[in-house]
Amino acid sequence: MADNTNKHEHREHEPGHEHEHEHIGIPGYLGVFGILVVGTILTYYVSLIDLDWIFAGANTLVALLIAFTKMTFVVLYFMHVRWMPRLIWLTALAGFFWLAIMFAFTMQDYLTRSIIGR
């Protein structure tokens, strides 16, 4: 952002030329919407199929993979992160990074508790 500020420091302000609105347009928005709807319907029907023969919890993994895909589309296109400066990318990723730390550090405790007593 600092770079951006310096670049425009002494620029004359011209009407109608202030800020490029970056988005994917109405067909793009409808396309993302279509992906989200398909993802939801897919989540619903996959949950009925028993995937435990692959490994226990495979159903949840598939459901979460679909959810992550849906989230990625919402964040990139509906929330315009794709066209945002790196600082916003960093902010968003930092949120998920800390979340991952919280999950990992909590579970390395809980998942190993039954082992210790043996």
Query: By the criterion CB under 8 A, which residues form the site for other proteins?
Result: 1, 4-5, 8-9, 11-16, 18-19, 21, 23, 25-26, 29-30, 32-33, 36-37, 40-41, 43-44, 47-52, 56-57, 59-60, 63-64, 66-67, 70-71, 74-75, 77-80, 84-85, 87-88, 91-92, 94-96, 98-99, 102-103, 106-107, 110-111, 114
H/E run at residue 81: none
Cβ-based neighbours of 81, under 8 Å, separated by 6 or more: 75, 88, 89, 92
Least distance to other proteins from the beta carbon of 40, Å? 5
Cα-Cα-Cα-Cα torsion 76, 78, 79, 83, nearest 10 degrees, comes to 50
